[in-house]
A and B are shown apart, each in its own frame.
Chain A
Amino acid sequence: MNFLRFAVRRLLEMAATLFVASFVVFGAMYLAPGSPAGFLLSGRSASPAALQAINEQYHLDDPFPVRYLRWLGQVLHGDFGRSLTYRTDVSRLLADRLPVTLTLVAMALLIVVVLGLALGWIGAVRGGAADSAVLVSTMVAVGTPSFVAAVLLQGLFAVRLGWFPSGGAGQGFADTVWHLTLPAVALALYLVGLLARVTRSAMLDELGSEHVAVARARGVPERRVIVRHVFRNALGTVLTTGGLVVSTLLVCTVLVESAFSVGGLGQLLELATTTKDFPTVQAVALIVVALFMAVNLLVDLVHPLVDPRVVLGARRSAA
């Protein structure tokens, strides 16, 4: 299949899924007990006129399909409505919060990729005691929720040793990186374990394959065999976990940002959830789902370049 046609078809599919997802997100909020107006007044009694004003401002009296379509139309224009809690445009909130979260996710992703691939490589190639060490440490890593890692890292490196700040996002690039190091490590830990195991297992599969034995029998130096035939071939399998890795990173920012008071998208979602700030929750949820799908689309498009055996359109699911 033609690359462009495939990309367009997948984009349309993604749009359709996103449409349904948006319906689910909006519909769930619509079904919620308790009216947003009640929350806005936070228990104070209000005159019918004031209630009327609020209902009109937030279009709470319109029937469901009308509200959904209006909301969807606004979302498509980048307008996610007004936050009930912050009394400001949700899109403004997102624009404020997104950069720090993306920085955090990027740092964690870097750690995941570098450390995950390295550990998986060491486990598969070295074998023996090194492999056992990799197996045990990754076993603990995939059993450690990110918030547990966050609290433990905070207790040790921020409070006890004082090497890093225990919260906040910092100002300027270096300060931000310094502030976000512990959160990024906490966020990355589980996925480092996951990626190391996927890498190790994929490399072991390749190590056992005949073409690797053939390369050795042709005198190709061992290091080059590992790089060119084992690691390179394992990358395709590793790539298919991309969507899962990114969506896990995004979702776990809720926990880690909350533990470190980073003040990004994750903490916004947490606060919006506890205060029933529906427009904000809807927006963050949609963004997370859209990013997950975008990464999966990217993986599908890139995979055939990494592995010529993969035919465009013949999807291999990651999870």
Chain B
Amino acid sequence: MSAVLTRRPVLSRLRAGRAPLQAVCLAVVALVVLAAVLAPWLAPADPNAVDLGSALAGPGAGHPLGVDAAGRDTLARLLIGARTSLLGPLGVVVFSTVGGIAVGAAAAWRGGWLDSLLSRSTELVFAFPGMLLAVLVVAVAGEGLLAPVVALAVAYLPYVSRLTRALVLTERERPYVAAHRVQGQSAAQILLRHVLPNIAPVVLAQSAVNFGYALMDLAGLSFLGLGVPALTPDWGRMVFDGQSAVQHGYPLSAVLPCVAIVLTVVAFNVVGERWADHVSGRNR
């Protein structure tokens, strides 16, 4: 198997010379991350403070982006919501990367029965779409952020482990591995000190690509009311909360989190894909 990055939508054709797009997307990523970090200081109000009198009010003094149907400030919920909306995918990416590297490296390095067992399990996981797995786990474990994050991490793990396995397989044939062996280094030492640092950029690029998808999936779960608890500000949850207002002709409180989701996902996708192209050296 060749070491090819898995990118579900093929963004790899975004040619060089589109530097402005890349810069804009990088800026959006930075902005969203900054907003999430500084949210408590930036938020104009308590995101859960209810002001029923001005429910569904448009943008105005005191509420720059308006108020939702429950009378909560939309800007405050967007800013605080950025934290949950980004932390969830971050958890998915961290879990799936660490787990995927461990599984992939073990399968490639040990080979034999371990390899075939892990490869079989990987195929089984591929048969469960991430959302389905997450829904199943939520059905079992109940609502909350942790269960879907773990479920999605498991669903995304095969993408990382398959890539790692292929990379480690090519890497272990390199002369330097044999050289370190002769010097008496243990397999674990060689793997940790030399092989993993060499393959890390490619694997991390794959994880960056996964981030956007994890964000989409988690927001979807929150939209179903299966993700974060009801009162936690979260973009997916905000769309869910705002949907009935949309049906009554007040779209703002749902449209804004929609825009936030799309902008963030697109920005992460573009940055991740660019990075993936860069490290895999096929800048087509």
Contact = CB atoms under 8 A, between A and B. Distances in A.
B137 interface: yes
A103 interface: no
Interface string A162-200: 000010000000000000000000000000011001101
> Which residue, of B132, B226, B239, B243, has the highest number of chain A Cβ atoms within 10 A?
B132
A21 B142 CA distance: 21
B9 A31 contact: no
A288 B8 contact: no
Interface string A222-258: 0000000000000000000000100110111011001
Interface stretch (A42-50, A106-114, A271-279): A271-279
Contacts of B44: none
A183 to B, nearest CB: 14
Q: Nearest 3 A-B pairs (CB), nearest first?
A: A143-B266, A142-B9, A143-B265
B12 interface: yes
B275 to A, nearest CB: 16
A130 interface: no
Contacts of A247: 129
Contacts, number: 155
Contacts of B247: 154, 158-159, 166
Given A148-B258, A152-B258, A17 B216 contact: no
30 contacts: A17-B123, A17-B124, A21-B128, A29-B139, A32-B141, A33-B142, A140-B262, A143-B262, A143-B266, A145-B219, A145-B223, A147-B223, A147-B239, A148-B239, A151-B243, A151-B255, A152-B258, A155-B246, A158-B247, A159-B251, A160-B249, A197-B13, A198-B10, A255-B224, A269-B135, A273-B135, A281-B135, A285-B132, A292-B127, A319-B126
A159 B10 contact: no
Nearest to A145: B216
A100 interface: no
A278 B137 CA distance: 11
A151 B246 contact: yes
